[in-house]
Amino acid sequence: MTLRHILRHKFSVLLCQSLTVLVCVFAGQTAQASALDDLRAFVGMTQTGRAAFTQMVTAKSGRKPQLASGTMAFQRPGKFRWTYDKPYYQLIVGDGTRLWAYDKDLNQVTVKKLGDALGSSPAALLAGRNTLEQNFNLKDGGMSDGIEWVEATPKHAENSFEWMRIGFANGQLRAMELRDAFGQTTQLKFANFERNINLDAMQFQFVPPKGADVVGEKE
């Protein structure tokens, strides 16, 4: 495997790890409500969502941040489609049972079971069922740059991240930040968020392209 492929594979793994959190995109309900109220309202009322995003990942070492952008969509519980258009095309799909990650340039598909582990992740709690406060400590995180924040920390040590922050402005989702166990920070900004819209169910299914190398838990 060439150095280029190794770097691309590492970036692909990074995106898949981030997805556990990134797929929890949501919107709040009213401008008057606190960010924590907006979060709780989402868990109870949002069934589908769609948005564009930009992403910046910063390593603890301080090396140059990795930038990416694309679109996402989700349908509760547990189905999502996360498409990276830049810096190169990647597609990550959760079909409710398995998570598929496709790198077009490498012609490689990585698949793994969502399983019970996803049940304690932000993705499952926000795009899944209403078990948010069962697994996370939540509190209002104040306001900065016009954004109201919710801070969430996992109650269980087996989670792969240290904390997460979700930001609202005027009752709409605007940003998200995540710090993982290795000190790496992922920052997201969302635009054109739509909630409770009709989505084509086929976009939450994935069939590996012919000839692609498929690795991971296929069954």
pLDDT digits (tens, 9 = 90+) for 16-35: 555 544 444 333 333 335 78
- Look at the block and give the residue holding tokens 């150095």: 3
Tell me the C-alpha distance between 94 and 81, whole Å. Answer: 6
At the second CATH level, the architecture of 3-216 is Clam (2.50)
* Ramachandran region, residue 81 (left: φ > 0; alpha: ψ -120 to 50; beta: rest): beta
> Over the stretch 156-175, which tens digit does the pLDDT of each residue have?
776 677 888 988 887 677 88
Predicted local distance difference test score (pLDDT) of residue 127: 59
Between the alpha carbon of residue 16 and those of residues 10, 52, 59, 150, 181, the distances in Å are 10, 18, 16, 23, 15
Q: How many other CB atoms are there within 10 angstroms of residue 151's CB atom?
A: 18
Cα dihedral sign, 154-160-163-167: negative
Tokens of 162: 């240290």
Token look-up 């049972």 returns 97
Question: In the chain, what are the domain boundaries?
Answer: 3-216
pLDDT of residue 131: 62
SS3 state of residue 98 = strand
Kindly tell me if the per-residue pLDDT of 88 is higher than 60: yes
Residue 14 in this model has a pLDDT that exceeds 70: no
* Nearest-angstrom CA–CA distance, 142 and 88: 35
Q: What is the DSSP secondary-structure string of 21-43?
A: HHTT----S-SSS-HHHHHHHHH
> Which of the two residues, 130 and 84, has the higher pLDDT score?
84
* Structural tokens at position 139: 């509190």
In the block, tokens 């989402």 appear at 42
